[in-house]
Amino acid sequence: MTGPMRVGVLISGRGSNLQALIDASKSRDYPATIGCVVSNVAGVEGLRRAERAGIATHVVPHTAYGSREAFDDAVGQILSSSDTALVCLAGFMRVLSDPFVQKWHGRLVNIHPSLLPAFKGLNVHRRVIESGARISGCSVHFVVPELDSGPIIAQAAVPVWPDDTPDALASRTLAAEHRLYPLALRLLAEGRVILDREQVRFRDVEQAGGELFSPPL
Ligand code: GRF
């Protein structure tokens, strides 16, 4: 019998999505376990969350490396030595180099606080409000070299209210992220979602469909 899939989580800060994955992985029937957490920033809350959960933590300061590739190599070595099968980016604020992305192709996912392909990049919530959109949300997607552009695995919608502020929309979206990421990781760890020639293929996801792709508003 094989055990739960070993996941490495890359963070840069608060780590609330990391916490959602940690909490989910505590359930006995959850098919993934967090094997290690790597942060490019020392002293962040996400590292403390991991330590409290008894998860191995590593700080790899990007400023200590002469190139993006050298930093990515250092991160990759930690992931490999922890027998990582899948990498989750959770508020990781570094762009990963092409060789790293290629090496982890189909095994590297990210969560982004918009309904991709709309609103890639930073300052998402301010731009959503300024656009006049009435619905926003979050997306879990496979990572490809182009930022926030990989094949989409799962999304959740949240309303944008008439008097919304970026902070209010961010916290409403974050609550949806905390539901979506564990659900998406479950599908990945159970092999019910795979990346096949740049296409996301699903198997046996009908039952999850209602909740996963559109949690109640
Ligand atoms: C989240 O909104 C995530 O979608 C984005 O960065 C934020 C990270 O928050 N990529 P946290 O560190 O998980 O609390």
Residue 209 confidence class, pLDDT cut points 50, 70, 90: low
**Angstrom distance (rounded) from CA 134 to CA 100:** 37
Residues 35 and 78: beta-carbon distance below 8 Å: no
35 lines ligand 1 (CB under 6 A): no
Atom 6 (ligand 1) nearest CA: 91
Testing ligand 1's pocket by substitution, the residue of 167, 177, 178 carrying the most ligand atoms inside 8 A of its CB is 177
**Per-residue pLDDT at 216 exceeds 50:** no
Q: What is the mean pLDDT of residues 63-77?
A: 97
**Angstrom distance (rounded) from CA 11 to CA 63:** 15
For the CA of 14, the closest atom of ligand 1 is: 12
Q: Helices 124-131 and 166-189, interaxial angle, to 10°?
A: 110
Which has the minimum average pLDDT: 125-139, 175-189, 191-205? Answer: 191-205
Atom 5 (ligand 1) nearest CA: 91
Q: What is the mean pLDDT of residues 200-208?
A: 76
Residues 181 and 17: beta-carbon distance below 8 Å: yes
Q: Using only C-alpha atoms, what is the Rg of the chain?
A: 17
pLDDT digits 0-9 by tens, 83-110? 999 999 999 999 999 999 999 999 999 9
**Per-residue pLDDT at 78 exceeds 60:** yes
- Residue 90 CB neighbours (<10 A): 24
